Amino acid sequence: MCEGSAALFALNWKKTALCYHRCGNCGFVFLADRHIVSRAQEKTRYLLHRNDPPSPGYTDFLRAFLVQALLPYKNPGSRILDFGSGPAPALAEMLEGLGYVCDRYDPIFARTRSWRRRSYDAILLHEVAEHIRSPGPVFSTLAELIVPGGIIALRTRFLPSSMDEFPGWWYRMDPTHIGFYTAECLTRYFERKGFSLLALARPDIIVFRKEDEPDR
């Protein structure tokens, strides 16, 4: 995330032994490569998720994200990228129902490339960042696609305030969750990319705004 040095630490929890890296500069924690599951295993795990649009609980979960992270800042008609749309693109369908123009991308379920050639008023990563294997380069690519004044909004559970809680932390237990962030870590990263913090709703939502280009 910040190109700082990371220390390796071992975690033994019940019958599980895993190694993680933790950056001493920004606090980002990520799973050691040797423990990361294959793409095939990832896909199998994702297909177990009950994220179908008709599910009232999941719909409410998505709506709460949009109410806090998008609707106050971008009007219908804005072009949105749902990055990591998953096997059932419920978020994209909800956005289109509200009048937004929404592209989808997912490295397993929607492997389109047209999004790379477009600019966006907003890019949404809803429960996606924790799955990304190289978040720094990915976030850098997305930052370049956002127009001045546009936003990038993420929902990912922030690390516990104390690393003593990390071994038993429920969010860590999903084998496809490999990267864990603090709000401060993400803020420092996006500020270097020309963004400012627009909104923070703990424990899992953060929004950044791309600064307007200076007058010439």
Q: How many CB atoms neighbour CB 40 within 10 A?
A: 9
127: containing domain:
6-210
Q: Is residue 194 part of a domain?
A: yes
pLDDT for the residue numbered 215: 46
Give the per-residue pLDDT at 53: 53
State the total domains in the chain.
1
140 is a domain residue: yes
Please give the chain's pLDDT, 216 residues, in tens.
887 788 899 888 777 789 999 998 889 999 999 999 988 888 887 777 655 555 788 899 999 999 999 999 999 999 999 999 988 889 999 999 999 999 999 988 888 889 999 999 999 999 999 999 999 999 999 999 999 999 999 999 999 999 999 999 999 999 999 999 999 999 999 999 999 999 999 999 999 999 986 543
Instruction: Return the pLDDT at 41.
Output: 86
Q: CATH number of the domain that 65 lies in?
A: 3.40.50
* Residue 166, pLDDT score: 94
* Three-state DSSP class for residue 191: helix
Q: DSSP letter for 74, please.
A: -
> How far are the Cα atoms of 27, 106, 177, 197, 204 from residue 121, in angstroms, in the given order?
29, 19, 28, 16, 22
Res 2: pLDDT:
81
Specify the pLDDT at position 216. Answer: 38
* Cβ-proximal residues to 104 (8 Å cutoff; 6+ apart), any chain: 81, 82, 85, 89, 92, 110, 112
The answer as to whether 216 is a domain residue is no
Residue 50 pLDDT: 52
What pLDDT does residue 49 have?
63
Question: Is 215 part of a structural domain of the chain?
Answer: no
Q: Per residue, what are the HEC states of 22-48?
A: EECCCCCEEECHHHCCCHHHHHHHHCC
Is residue 173 included in any domain, yes or no? yes
Is residue 34 a contact partner of residue 19, using CB atoms and an 8 Å limit? yes
